[in-house]
C-alpha cells in the first residue's frame, strides 16, 4: 500500500502435524516405549489399538515380529482409525505387534503385545480304575492350555489334601495314592483352570481287597476234624473281601452244590452243614474264595468214626459145654 494504490497477494498456509498415537484410557500415562498388553481367548476377535492423529492423514502399516502384516490377509482388517482387527484368533497370533504411522512430517509407532490364551482341555483317560489294597495307584490328568492350567483335585466333592503321605501329585497333574486302603474308594474330580477357562474330569476308584480268612473258633481252628457218626457238622468259612468273594466247596476235589443228600451250603457259602455224619462224609473239604483281587482257601480233613454195635445184643443165648471140650461163642 502507498499513495498511489495497493496490491494484494493471497498465501495459503498449511500446517502439517506429525502423527501422534493416542494410548487407550487404561494405558494413559505409561511410557510410549512400553508395549500395550492385551489378552484374548483363542477363536475370539480382538482389535489392536492404534488411534493416530496427524495432518495430512498418515499411512498405517502393521508388523508382527518385524514381519509386515499382509493387507490381503482374510483375518486381518485395517480400520479407518488405524487400529487392526484380528478375527478368529489363533495361538500363532501371539507376539509383539508394531503400528507405524507415517506422513510427510515424520512417523510415530505403537507397540502392542498380544497374548492368545487357550482354555484348558483335559485328555480323558479311563473313567474307572480298579486298585488293590496296599498297592500304589496313579490317576492321570493331562491338561493342555495356554497359559499352563493349574490342576486341583476333589474326592467326593471335597478338596483333597496333598500331603505326600497318603496322596502325592506331580507337575503333569498326576495324582498318586501311595498305599491304597478301602476308604480311598470314591469319585475323584480333576479340575484344570487358567485365565481362559476351566475343564474337569471324573474318575471312579474301586478298591479291591483280596479274600482273607477271619477268626476260626475251636474246634474249627484245626484242619483235622474227627466226628462220631450221626453227629451234625457245620464247617465255617469266614472269608471277607471286596468285592464280595465267590465261595465254592469241594469234597475230595469234587465241587458241592448244596443239593447233596444230608448236606447244605448256607450263608452265601460261608457255612457247610452235614446233618448226620456217615463214613461216606469222611475226606478232604476245601472252601475256596475268589474275587478280582485274589483268592484264598480253608482246608478241613474229616474222619467219621462209627461206634461198635452188637447186632443181637437183645438176644440171650444159652450154651452148654462139657468140661474140657471146645465151644464157639458168636458176637
**Domain end marker among 209, 236, 269:** 209
Scan for cell 465254592, then name that residue: 248
Q: Which residues contact 318 (CB under 8 A, 6 or more apart)?
A: none
Q: Nearest-CA neighbor of 263 among 242, 285, 246, 247?
A: 285
Q: Which residues contact 144 (CB under 8 A, 6 or more apart)?
A: 118, 120, 121, 123
* Whether the predicted pLDDT of 201 surpasses 80: yes
Task: Return the SS3 of 273.
Answer: strand
Residue 328 within any structural domain of the chain: no
Residue 8 within any structural domain of the chain: no
pLDDT above 90 covers a percentage of the chain that reads 79
pLDDT (average), residues 44-68: 94
> Could you read off the pLDDT of 228-239 as tens digits, one per residue?
999 999 999 999
Whether residues 201 and 219 share a domain: the answer is no
Residue 75 within any structural domain of the chain: yes
* Whether the predicted pLDDT of 28 surpasses 80: no
Whether residues 218 and 176 share a domain: the answer is no
Whether residues 129 and 199 share a domain: the answer is yes
List, in sequence order, every residue forming a beta bridge with 107; answer none if it has no partner: 102
pLDDT value at residue 24: 80
Place 30 in a pLDDT band, splitting at 50, 70 and 90: low
Lowest-pLDDT choice from 167-176, 186-195, 254-263, 319-328? 319-328
Whether residues 220 and 134 share a domain: the answer is no
CA distances from 54 to 17, 19, 34 (A): 5, 4, 22
* Whether the predicted pLDDT of 29 surpasses 70: no
What is the pairing mode between strands 107-123 and 95-102?
antiparallel
pLDDT (average), residues 100-129: 94
Separation of alpha carbons 14 and 159, rounded Å: 71
Whether residues 130 and 195 share a domain: the answer is yes
**Domain end marker among 179, 209, 239:** 209
pLDDT value at residue 71: 85
pLDDT value at residue 26: 58
Residue 280: what are its φ and ψ, rounded to 5°? -60, -30
Whether residues 228 and 280 share a domain: the answer is yes
Separation of alpha carbons 10 and 13, rounded Å: 10
Find the CATH number of the domain harbouring 65.
2.60.40.10
In the predicted model, what is the mean pLDDT of the chain?
Answer: 92
Scan for cell 495497493, then name that residue: 6
Whether residues 242 and 299 share a domain: the answer is yes
* Whether the predicted pLDDT of 181 surpasses 70: yes
Q: Percent helix, strand and coil across the chain, each rounded to 5?
A: 5, 50, 45
pLDDT value at residue 253: 94
Residue 312 within any structural domain of the chain: no
Residue 4 within any structural domain of the chain: no
Place 106 in a pLDDT band, splitting at 50, 70 and 90: very high
pLDDT value at residue 326: 87
Place 311 in a pLDDT band, splitting at 50, 70 and 90: confident
Separation of alpha carbons 155 and 175, rounded Å: 11
pLDDT (average), residues 305-325: 80
Residue 3 within any structural domain of the chain: no
pTM above 0.85, yes or no: no
Whether residues 81 and 162 share a domain: the answer is no
Range 202-227 burial, b when 16+ CB lie within 10 A, else e: ebebebbbbbeeeeeeeebeeeebeb
Task: Return the SS3 of 163.
Answer: coil
Lowest-pLDDT choice from 27-41, 103-117, 200-214? 27-41
Question: Which structural domain, as residue segments, surrounds residue 196?
Answer: 124-209
Q: Nearest-CA neighbor of 248 among 177, 296, 199?
A: 296
Whether residues 198 and 232 share a domain: the answer is no
Q: Which residues contact 255 (CB under 8 A, 6 or more apart)?
A: 248, 249
Number of domains the chain contains: 3
Residue 173 within any structural domain of the chain: yes
Whether residues 110 and 178 share a domain: the answer is no
Return the C-alpha torsion angle 307, 313, 319, 323, nearest 10. Answer: 30
Whether residues 160 and 219 share a domain: the answer is no
Residue 311 within any structural domain of the chain: no
**Domain end marker among 93, 117, 141:** 117
> Could you read off the pLDDT of 278-302 as tens digits, one per residue?
999 999 999 999 999 999 999 999 9
Q: In the 8-state DSSP scheme, what is residue 164?
A: S
Whether residues 129 and 40 share a domain: the answer is no
Amino acid at each position: 500500500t502507498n499513495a498511489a494504490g495497493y496490491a494484494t497477494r493471497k498465501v495459503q498456509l498449511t500446517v502439517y502435524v506429525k502423527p501422534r498415537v493416542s494410548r487407550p484410557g487404561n494405558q494413559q500415562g505409561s511410557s510410549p516405549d512400553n508395549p500395550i498388553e492385551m489378552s484374548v481367548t483363542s477363536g475370539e476377535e480382538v482389535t489392536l489399538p492404534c488411534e493416530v492423529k496427524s495432518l495430512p492423514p498418515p499411512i498405517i502399516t502393521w508388523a508382527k515380529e518385524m514381519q509386515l502384516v499382509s493387507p490381503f490377509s482374510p483375518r486381518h482388517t485395517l480400520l479407518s482409525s488405524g487400529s487392526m482387527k484380528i478375527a478368529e484368533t489363533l495361538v500363532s497370533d501371539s507376539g509383539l505387534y508394531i503400528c507405524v504411522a507415517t506422513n510427510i512430517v515424520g512417523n510415530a509407532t505403537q507397540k502392542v503385545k498380544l497374548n492368545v490364551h487357550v482354555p484348558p482341555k483335559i485328555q480323558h483317560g479311563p473313567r474307572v480304575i480298579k486298585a488293590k489294597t496296599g498297592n500304589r495307584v496313579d490317576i492321570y490328568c493331562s491338561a493342555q492350555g495356554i497359559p499352563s492350567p493349574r490342576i486341583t483335585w476333589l474326592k467326593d466333592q471335597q478338596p483333597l489334601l496333598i500331603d505326600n503321605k497318603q496322596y502325592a501329585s506331580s507337575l503333569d497333574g498326576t495324582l498318586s495314592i501311595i498305599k491304597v486302603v478301602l476308604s480311598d474308594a470314591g469319585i475323584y474330580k480333576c479340575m484344570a483352570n487358567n485365565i481362559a477357562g476351566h475343564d474337569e474330569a471324573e474318575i471312579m476308584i474301586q478298591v479291591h481287597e483280596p479274600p482273607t480268612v477271619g477268626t476260626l473258633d475251636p474246634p474249627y481252628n484245626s484242619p483235622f476234624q474227627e466226628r462220631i457218626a450221626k453227629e451234625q457238622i457245620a464247617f465255617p468259612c469266614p472269608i471277607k473281601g471286596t468285592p464280595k468273594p465267590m465261595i465254592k466247596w469241594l469234597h475230595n476235589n469234587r465241587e458241592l452244590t448244596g443239593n447233596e443228600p444230608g448236606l447244605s451250603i448256607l450263608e452265601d457259602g460261608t457255612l457247610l452243614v452235614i446233618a448226620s455224619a456217615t463214613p461216606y462224609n469222611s475226606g478232604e473239604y476245601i472252601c475256596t474264595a475268589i474275587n478280582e483281587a485274589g483268592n484264598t482257601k480253608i482246608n478241613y480233613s474229616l474222619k467219621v468214626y462209627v461206634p461198635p454195635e452188637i447186632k443181637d445184643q437183645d438176644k440171650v443165648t444159652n450154651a452148654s459145654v462139657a468140661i474140657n471140650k471146645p465151644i464157639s461163642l458168636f458176637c
